[in-house]
């Protein structure tokens, strides 16, 4: 099956993968700085080395984000907080070094990142239009496969020795926010089929905790806020239709957009930023493989990866190999199985093997295959560096 699927995946078809990055955090927790650092760092890397892909934001957001990034990098100024309304940023990843005609025929990845007023996290809205914007934004955020839940490293530092005070407020306030707008999010009363299935608890401003490993962070949360984490997990489960494949409080990440000191911002000192794209694009598929039951998952990323004609071509092979049977409504999961097979091929590969696969795929212009190899390397490296901790089940 693997050889056939790999060949089919390499067919000359233009596929666009759509995914959203959902980042939840209080005001001042670093969401906007994280977005600027993410984009600026990616653009710097593209200009400095032979990166696999080009990453572009749409024109107006590109200008704003680069301006904010350069303000931090050269003028040591932090971007202003996002207030009153949400801001949507779309990024597109395309294979680097191709002409316009070739680009039009190649695969791409489109990522949507929502920035929103952190005050929404812990308070109500002041106007009806703001309330509607908040509910609409959260509905779209809740359409992702992966969500980052930010723990503010600076706020945590202010409560050293009594971290439970901050952590309990953090988790409880978000539970209350979700409770207040639950009816608006669900609208007609129906539960969400698409929902962040993997919630990664992330320590923002991790540069303030230079000696903390991701395992230390996990232990701190479980020791100081276990009850509140369980309460929020229960609240989140009230939004979704299928709760068999849901993870909250089992994946952890250290994040640092830069190293901040009095009057200075060092953008070269980052942590966890390079793993954000892999978390959004590859981690959901890896987790779905571990959960085994592809049929229960809303495979937002994978089902859009392959078009219907390719899915039809895969049906005879996938039904036999995945033993799905003759049940109805399986087509989108056959597509998921095809992409899952590609991810599975690389899951246990060594760093050297992944580098070789990436180089060969890039040369053959098999963009998605090369991207999966690159992103798998990044996830593995982040774990080795004790920056990322993934649920192992």
* 61-73 pLDDT, tens digit each: 899 888 988 888 8
Taking only Cα atoms into account, the Rg of the chain, rounded to an integer number of angstroms, comes to 21
**pLDDT confidence of 188, banded at 50, 70, 90?**
low
Task: Looking at the structure, give the CATH architecture of the domain made up of residues 16-285.
Answer: 3-Layer(aba) Sandwich (3.40)
pTM for the full predicted model:
0.80
Q: What are phi and psi of 348, to 5 degrees?
A: -110, 15
Alpha-carbon gap, residue 108 to 390, rounded angstroms: 26
What are the residue boundaries of the structural domains of the chain, listed by start?
2-10+287-389, 16-285
Q: What is the mean pLDDT of residues 10-34?
A: 72
Q: How far apart are CA 351 and CA 52, in angstroms?
A: 16
Main-chain phi, psi angles of 251, to 5 degrees? -125, 135
Higher pLDDT, 119 or 171: 171
Three-class SS of residue 198? strand
Rounded-to-5 percentages of helix, strand, coil across the chain: 55, 15, 30
Q: What is the pLDDT of residues 204-260, one digit of tens each?
A: 999 999 999 999 999 999 999 999 999 999 999 998 876 777 889 899 999 998 888
Between these two residues, 366 and 51, which has the higher pLDDT value?
366
């Amino acid at each position: 099956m693997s050889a056939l699927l790999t060949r089919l995946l390499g067919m000359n078809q233009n596929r666009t993968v759509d995914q959203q990055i959902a980042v939840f955090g209080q005001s001042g927790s670093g969401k906007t700085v994280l977005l600027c650092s993410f984009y600026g760092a990616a653009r710097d890397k593209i200009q400095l080395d032979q990166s696999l892909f080009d990453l572009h934001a749409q024109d107006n957001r590109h200008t704003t984000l680069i301006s904010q990034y350069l303000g931090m990098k050269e003028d040591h100024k932090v971007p202003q907080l996002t207030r009153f309304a949400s801001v949507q940023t779309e990024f597109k990843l395309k294979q680097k070094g191709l002409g316009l005609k070739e680009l039009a025929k190649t695969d791409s990845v489109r990522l949507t990142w929502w920035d929103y007023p952190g005050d929404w996290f812990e308070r109500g809205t002041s106007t009806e239009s703001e309330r509607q914007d908040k509910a609409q934004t959260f509905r779209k955020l809740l359409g992702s496969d992966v969500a980052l839940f930010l723990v503010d490293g600076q706020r945590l530092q202010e409560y050293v020795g009594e971290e439970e005070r901050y952590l309990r407020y953090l988790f409880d306030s978000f539970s209350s926010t979700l409770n207040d707008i639950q009816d608006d999010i669900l609208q007609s009363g129906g539960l969400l089929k698409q929902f962040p299935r993997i919630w990664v608890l992330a320590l923002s401003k991790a540069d303030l905790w230079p000696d903390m490993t991701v395992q230390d962070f996990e232990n701190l949360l479980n020791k100081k806020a276990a009850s509140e984490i369980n309460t929020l997990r229960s609240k989140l489960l009230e939004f979704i239709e299928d709760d068999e494949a849901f993870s909250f409080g089992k994946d952890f990440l250290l994040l640092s957009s830069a190293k901040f000191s009095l009057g200075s911002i060092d953008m070269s000192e980052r942590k966890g930023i390079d793993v954000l794209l892999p978390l959004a694009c590859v981690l959901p598929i890896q987790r779905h493989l571990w959960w085994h039951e592809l049929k229960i998952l809303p495979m937002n990323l994978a089902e859009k990866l392959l078009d219907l004609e390719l899915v039809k071509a895969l049906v005879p092979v996938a039904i036999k190999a995945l033993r799905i049977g003759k049940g109805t409504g399986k087509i989108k999961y056959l597509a998921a199985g095809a992409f899952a097979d590609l991810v599975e091929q690389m899951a246990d590969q060594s760093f050297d093997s992944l580098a070789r696969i990436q180089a060969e795929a890039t040369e053959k212009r098999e963009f998605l295959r090369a991207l999966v190899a690159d992103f798998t390397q990044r996830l593995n490296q982040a774990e080795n560096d004790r920056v990322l901790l993934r649920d192992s089940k």
